[in-house]
Amino acid sequence: MVRHLVGKLASRSLSIAGRWQQQQLRRLNIHEYQGAELMGKHGINVPKGVAVSSLEEIKKTIQDAFPGEKELVVKSQILAGGRGLGTFKNGFQGGVHIVKSDEVEDIARKMLGQILVTKQTGAQGKVVSKLYLCKKLSLVNEMYFAITLDRTTAGPVPIDVFKGITDEDAAKVVDGLAPKINPIAETSDDQLVAADAKLNFDDNASFRQKEIFALRDTTQEDPREVTAAKADLNYIGLDGEIGCMVNGAGLAMATMDIIKLHGGTPANFLDVGGNASENQVVEAFKILTADDKVKAILVNIFGGIMKCDVIASGIVNAAKQVALKVPVVVRLEGTNVDQGKQILKESGMTLITAEDLDDAAEKAVKAIST
């Protein structure tokens, strides 16, 4: 039975594990206009540009920053690629346009405040709150430029331009972050310009790069993840129906895998950590219950450092603050487990208890189908 279970887990868990592995690294992404300002500040040649957030700013910006320019580039600012080929939900095509200076305001009216859908945003798209007005350049050559960082040596990885990246090179940079300039362009007057760039920063650097991290645009992020980060919770939204609250990343992954094994789909990755407070548990429940897609909640706690009675008290207090309209399956084991179970029993809450992880996942999947 155990061997069969392990085999099924191995075959079914790859897709969800891969998706989580791709998303779990927290990083700061900044807008194109912010990247240009940052590069310009450090002596890199960038096109002249000004970010605007309202139609009222446009006329004065053109007069002050681009006098005599017959054409300008109008770029939507969202934290996603594929803007040029994107489509606004109002039907307007393209998030990047080269237009005559006296037509910028008309084009901007169709873009500002509208939702742009690209190959990277998903069907929900992202709101364009700013436009980046740039000087049009006459380019004679365009190239791709990137610096890939090796965390082991704390420096760049040299790549042979004739051989390309090797397996050995790839192994070195699997955890690295790569600033990308695409294109780095040669102009008709022999200037080298960073015409566009994607810059991101590892969140581990936030304590010493406060000025850069102040550039974070939380309006472009999943609001659930923003709320979770404020409560110091590790949360990643997914597309399933079973909300998960677990302590420990490994146990959280195992919980999602076994939900999949029993035919369900996890709605999130949520690790409350080993030292979560009662208030953090309450905040976690608020996030889970605010997701309309969640049809059941599975709480899976193995108390080591984390105490089961703290989790239980948090669940009870959360129930007082939010309307629990979905079934809640609870599996507690470990430190203070008897106290935790007693707190839940005396609360009068209607809960589905489980003896182990497999039992909990099976009951959660069954709960959404009844």
| Of the candidates 124, 125, 128, the residue with the CA atom closest to the CA atom of residue 108 | 128
- Residue 248, sorted as left (phi over 0), alpha (psi -120 to 50) or beta, turns out to be left
The pair of three-digit structure tokens given for residue 369, joined into one six-digit string = 């189908």
Instruction: Determine the pLDDT at residue 15.
Output: 44
| Of the candidates 272, 257, 352, 259, the residue with the CA atom closest to the CA atom of residue 306 | 272
Q: Cβ(194)–Cβ(43) under 8 Å? A: no
Distance CA 201, CA 290 (A): 29
In the predicted model, residues of the chain with pLDDT beneath 70 are 1-26, 161, 168-178
Distance CA 54, CA 34 (A): 17
Instruction: Determine the pLDDT at residue 155.
Output: 77
Instruction: Determine the pLDDT at residue 279.
Output: 85
Per-residue pLDDT reduced to its tens digit, 39-80: 999 999 999 999 999 999 999 999 999 999 999 999 999 999
Instruction: Determine the pLDDT at residue 177.
Output: 60
Buried b (16+ CB within 10 A) or exposed e, 112-121: bebbbbbeeb
Q: What is the DSSP letter of 259?
A: H
Half-sphere exposure of 151 (CA within 13 A, CB side): 9
In angstroms, how far apart are the furthest CA atoms of the chain?
79
Per-residue pLDDT reduced to its tens digit, 126-146: 999 999 999 999 999 999 888
Instruction: Determine the pLDDT at residue 3.
Output: 43
User: Residue 221 burial by CB count (10 A; 0-12/13-18/19+): exposed, middle or buried?
Assistant: middle
Instruction: Determine the pLDDT at residue 21.
Output: 42
